[in-house]
Amino acid sequence: MIELISQSRCIGCDRCVEVCPTNVFDSQYGEPPTIARQSDCQTCFLCEAYCPADAMFVAAETHGHVEVDEDELIAKGLLGSYRRNLGWSKGVTPQIRMNELLELQNKLGGRA
Least confidently predicted of 13-17, 53-57, 102-106 = 102-106
| CB burial readout 2-18, b (16+ within 10 A) else e | bbbbbeebbeeeebbbe
22-34 pLDDT per residue, tens:
999 999 988 999 9
Fold of 2-108: Alpha-Beta Plaits (3.30.70)
What does the pLDDT read at residue 84?
81
DSSP state of 12: -
52 pLDDT higher than 70? yes
Asked if residue 111 has pLDDT above 60, the reply is no
Alpha carbons 70 and 78: distance in angstroms, whole number: 9
- Once rounded to an integer, what is the mean pLDDT over residues 70-91? 82
Query: For the chain, how many residues are written?
Result: 112
Indicate the domain borders of the chain: 2-108
pTM of the model: 0.74
